[in-house]
Amino acid sequence: MSNYTADSETAGPAVNGVQSVDRAVSVLEILARRGEAGVSEVAVEIAVHKSTAFRLLGALEARGLVEQTGERGKYRLGFGIVRLAGAVTGRLDITQQGRTVCERLSEEIGETVNIAVLQEHYAVNLLQVRGPGAVGTHNWVGQLTPVHATSSGKVLLAHLPEPERTAVLAASGTRKLTPHTLTSRSKLEKNLAEARERGYAVALEELEIGLHAMAAPIRSRDGEVIAAISASGPTYRFTEQRMEELAPVLIRGADEISHRMGYLG
């Protein structure tokens, strides 16, 4: 039985807005599952009046997210979905192309290796491979980490155009997480410039006491930095000297993934 009530149409604008988004997503999921469906079928599945389903489909059609299949009154997903999926697809490709490289690097470096991308004003980890000595290491996959206090975040920041970097830092803030976290904008900018010049960034107990990390940039086919690959470990083992020695290994790994992504530079 439909759970539609008159209150659904008379609720406040904020409630109606969220409800409309929820219904629109449900419509897309229905079409993804069924392949195609008519207005009446959609209305029944999301428990709304046929007129409401028609309006939802019309709005999605206007954005190219759904399209009509000939003259049968049926709808299916449109090519606008491909446009939206493109950003995620690129990120998924990074993990696919980078997994074997990360596995090799974790063995060569002996520490945990991660691939991260920029999401809004965070660095989010998509892939992690633990090194042979990394028993009990925190699982960073899916974690949103502060850009100013992580090696991956620094790499991603360093290669943003200055206006975008300013906006990201303004949104994230530069909270002091440990006594070693860089919170001064001038000191951070100097640190990022050094990362660009030498090809990798480091974070020395800036996120957590006892944790060191370094990261190098991964580039897309057009040369844009789209991700960072990092290696992290305990300070007693992954010392500054050790990181400096292993930086060329990490950079070569980043370059290999970049080439797999189509970068020819």
Domain boundaries of the chain, sorted by first residue: 19-84, 88-261
In this predicted structure, what is the pLDDT of residue 143? 79
**Contact, 93 vs 87, CB < 8 A?**
no
DSSP string of 68-100, one letter each residue: E-TTSSEEEE-THHHHHHHHHHHHHHHHHHHHH
Using alpha carbons, select from 147, 121, 113, 50 the residue that is nearest to residue 252: 113
Q: Give the model's pLDDT for residue 132.
A: 79
164-185 burial string, b = 16+ CB within 10 Å, else e?
ebeebbeebebeebeeebbeee
Question: What pLDDT is recorded for position 213?
Answer: 96
Residues 6+ apart with CB under 8 A from 86: none
Model pTM above 0.75: no
- CA distances, 39 to each of 118, 151, 164, 185 (Å): 39, 50, 43, 55
Same-fold call for 19-84 versus 88-261: no
Q: How confident is the model at residue 87, as a pLDDT? A: 62
* Cβ within 8 Å of residue 140, ≥6 positions away: 112, 114, 125, 128
- Per-residue tens of pLDDT for the chain, all 265 residues: 344 443 444 445 555 678 888 899 999 999 888 888 999 999 999 999 999 999 999 999 998 899 988 766 799 988 888 777 666 666 668 888 899 999 999 999 999 999 999 988 889 999 999 887 765 556 778 778 999 999 999 999 999 999 999 999 999 888 999 999 999 999 999 999 999 999 999 999 999 999 999 999 999 988 999 999 999 999 999 999 999 999 999 999 999 999 988 888 7
Distance CA 213, CA 125 (A): 14
Q: Which amino acid is at 118?
A: L
Annotation: CATH topology of 88-261: Beta-Lactamase (3.30.450)
Q: By CB neighbour count within 10 A (0-12 exposed, 13-18 middle, 19+ buried), where does 144 fall?
A: middle
Q: The tokens of 97 are what? A: 């192309």
Which pLDDT belongs to residue 7?
Answer: 41
List Cα–Cα distances, 132 to 43, 108, 147, 213, 243, in angstroms: 54, 10, 27, 16, 17
Query: What is the spatial distance between Cα 245 and Cα 205, in angstroms, rounded to a whole number?
Result: 19
- Please give the single-letter amino acid code of residue 208: E
Alpha carbon distance 106, 71 (integer Å)? 57
Residues 122 and 116: their CA atoms lie apart, in Å, by 10
- Give CA–CA dist 70/87, Å, rounded: 30
Q: What's the CA gap between 115 and 142, in Å, rounded?
A: 11
Cite the beta strand spans of the chain per DSSP E: 37-38, 66-68, 74-77, 112-119, 122-129, 144-146, 201-204, 211-219, 225-234
Q: Which CATH architecture has domain 19-84?
A: Orthogonal Bundle (1.10)
